[in-house]
Amino acid sequence: MTYVVTENCIACKYTDCVEVCPVDCFYEGENTLVIHPDECIDCGVCEPECPADAIRPDTEPDMDKWVEFNRKYAEMWPVIISKKEPMPGYEDRDGEPGKLDKYFSEAPGEGG
């Protein structure tokens, strides 16, 4: 089992989760985070820290695409271990449907 970041993180990018991760397996894109599924130790401490409820276990239905999404971008983006401010407008986008198609950027974040 592993945990993965799902669509609701896009265009919000809360980073509360990165501070509690004991293995630093979060990676930062321009407007979202991902978890490297091969580095995650399945401890689950990140899941309740996410205000957007965007972190889910891969055992839930239809998570295969999110496992691959997280793996792909974790291998491209820099690691993030420190909390940052969420993205501007996050209050309006939290819970918005279709964020992957509307807002997702493949560009890396700053990391840190």
Strand partners, 55: 5
Overall pTM > 0.75: yes
Q: Report residue 105 CA to chain centroid gap.
A: 13
pLDDT digit string (tens) for 1-55?
A: 899 999 999 999 999 999 999 999 999 999 999 999 999 999 999 999 999 999 9
| Phi, psi of 86, deg, nearest 5 | -65, 170
In the chain the domains, ranked by start, together with CATH numbers, are 1-84 (3.30.70.20)
Q: Quickly state the pLDDT bin for 88 (edges 50, 70, 90).
A: very high
